[in-house]
Amino acid sequence: MPIKVLSVFGTRPEAIKMAPLVLELANRPEFDSLVCITAQHRQMLDGVLACFGITPDYDLDIMQEGQTLTDITSLVLNRLNDVLREVHPDIVLVHGDTTTAFASALCAFYLQIPVGHVEAGLRTFDRYSPFPEEMNRCLIGRLATCHFAPTVHNAENLKAENIAGDIFVTGNTVIDAMKYTVGDGSFSTPALKNLNFNERRVITLTCHRRENYGEPMENIFRAVRRIADKFNDVSFVYPVHLSPYVRETAKTFLGDTANVILTKPLDAMEMHRLMSKSYFVMTDSGGLQEEAPALGKPVLVLRRETERPEAVEAGTVALAGVDENRIFDLTCKLLTDSVMYNKMAKAVNPYGDGNACRRIADALLFSFGKSSCRPEDFHP
C-alpha cells in the first residue's frame, strides 16, 4: 500500500516551497499524494498553484479581508477536521511557521495523525519576533513526529529542545523550487517591461511582516524615500503584499515617490527574474533571504533579527534593522562602496542544493519502514 500523504498549506511562501515536494511525491509510486489548501491567501496562493500546475484536492477557502490570527486558526481547525476524517492520511505535511501550518498540525494531532514538518528548526528565540511565526514553529515542533530541517544549524536547534521524533537535514525546498522558476524571459508587468536594468540600478524591495506594522514599517519607507531622492540612477521595485494595512502604508509613504515603482504581487517566475536582474534586495521576507543569496544578490534585512543566520555568516546578507537612519546609512554604503558590494554579491547556497524534496520523500519511506536507507544529510 502506498503511503497516503496529505500536504496542507495556505500562503504564497508555503505554496512556493511545498510545490516541488508535491510534484516529487506525485511522481513516486510509493506515495498516494493529496493536497489540501486552506487559502489563508487567496489570490497570492492561486497564482503559485498556476505557476506549478498544481490542482488541489481540497480547498478550505478561509481567507477574509483583514483576517485575525484567531479567525485563521479557528477556520482551519473547523474545516480541516472534516477533510482529515474523510481522507485518513498516514501523515500530514505542513510547512514552516504560518498560522495555517500551526492550526493544521494541531488539527492532525487532535485526530492522532502523524505530522511531518517541512522547514523545521528555524528560531530567533524571541517569542514576539517574528510574530506569530516564532511561536507557531516552536509549537509545530512539539506536535510533529518527523522534522525536515533545512540546515544542520536548524537540526541543532531542535536537538537542543529535546524535540521528539526523527530529524532529517534536507536542505530547503525553496532551492528546488528555483529550478522551476528561474529562467530567462521578459516581464509581462508593464512597469517592469519598460525598466532598463542596464542603465539603472534596481533594488527589489518587499516588506510585509506583522511585527513591522506601525513605526518600523514607516521608518523603512522613509529611509527608502530618502535613498530614492539621493541616487538618481537607482529604481526601487516594490511588489506590494495584498494586506490592506501594507497596501495603505506603502501608498501613503511611497505612492508619489520618483524612482519607486509599486506593483501588484508578481508571480513567482517574474519575482525571481526581477531579483536576478536587480542590483540588490531589501526585505523583511523569509523566502527572499534564501533566494537572493542563491542568485548572487546582496540582501539588507529589514528586521531586528533573523532566524536565517547562515547567509549572514557567509557574508551575503546583512541585518539593517528597522531604524530609519541605520537603514539609510547602510544602503548608501552598499550603493557607493564597491568593495563591500563585491564581497556581498557572491552566489552562496547555504540553504540547499536542489535535492531537498528527494531527501524528504526518501526520509518518509525510511520513517514508515518502507526503506532501510536513511537519506544522507544535506551539507552545503
What residues are annotated to the active site? 97, 119, 133, 208, 210, 241
- If one counts every other C-beta atom within 10 angstroms of the C-beta of residue 180, the result is 17
Please state whether the peptide bond connecting residue 216 to the residue before it is cis, i.e. omega within 30 degrees of 0: no
Based on the shown chain and the rule CB under 6 A, indicate whether residue 67 belongs to the binding site for ligand UD1.
Answer: yes
Residue reference for cell 482529515: 84
For ligand UDP, which stretch binds (CB under 6 A), given 55-63, 79-87, 265-273, 294-302? 265-273
Q: Is 101 in the site for ligand UDP (CB under 6 A)?
A: no
Rule CB under 6 A: choose which of 24, 59, 133, 307 binds ligand UD1: 133
C-alpha 322 chain-centroid distance: 20
Q: Does residue 271 interact with ligand UDP by CB under 6 A? A: yes
Is residue 216 near ligand UDP by the rule CB under 6 A? Answer: no
Q: Which residue has the cell 543569496?
A: 293
When binding is defined by CB under 6 A, the residue of 3, 8, 10, 12 that contacts ligand UDP is 12
- Establish if 228 lies at the interface with ligand UDP (CB under 6 A): no
244 vs 255 by CB, closer to ligand UD1: 244
User: Shortest gap between Cβ of 80 and ligand UD1 (angstroms)?
Assistant: 15
Asked if residue 98 lies in contact with residue 137, where contact means CB atoms within 8 angstroms, the answer is no
| Number of residues forming the site for ligand UD1 (CB under 6 A) | 24
Please, what is the minimum distance in Å from the beta carbon of residue 194 to ligand UDP? 18
By CB under 6 A, is residue 285 in contact with ligand UDP?
yes
Among 5, 6, 8, 16, binds ligand UDP (CB under 6 A): 16
288 interacts with ligand UDP by CB under 6 A: yes
Phi and psi, residue 82, nearest 5°: -65, -40
- Torsion angle in degrees (nearest 10) through CA of 42, 45, 47, 52: -150
CB of 312 to ligand UD1, least distance (A): 19
Torsion of CA 195, 241, 309, 272, to 10 degrees: -40
Q: Provide the 8-state DSSP code for 90.
A: S
If DSSP codes are grouped into helix, strand and coil, which group holds residue 309? Answer: coil
Does residue 235 belong to the site contacting ligand UDP (CB under 6 A)?
Answer: no
In the list ligand UD1, ligand UDP, none, the entry touching 59 (Cβ below 5 to 8 angstroms by class) is none
Separation CA 307–CA 130 (nearest Å) = 9
Residue 67 or 371 with smaller CB distance to ligand UD1: 67
Furthest-apart CA atoms within the chain: distance in Å: 64
Query: Does residue 137 interact with ligand UDP by CB under 6 A?
Result: no
DSSP bridge partners of 9: 37
- Adjacency order of strands within the sheet including 317-319: 260-263, 234-239, 201-206, 280-283, 299-301, 317-319
Per CB under 6 A, contacts with ligand UDP among 116-135 are none
Residue 69 binds ligand UD1 (CB under 6 A): yes
Q: Which three cell numbers stand for residue 110?
A: 487532535
Q: How many CA atoms lie within 13 A of 352 on its CB side?
A: 30
Of 287-295, 297-305, 322-330, 342-350, which part binds ligand UDP (CB under 6 A)?
Answer: 287-295
Considering only residues 222-281, where is the footprint of ligand UD1 by CB under 6 A? Answer: 241-244
Q: Using CB under 6 A as the criterion, which residues of the chain lie in contact with ligand UD1 when the complex forms? A: 11-13, 40-44, 64-67, 69, 97-99, 132-133, 208, 210, 241-244
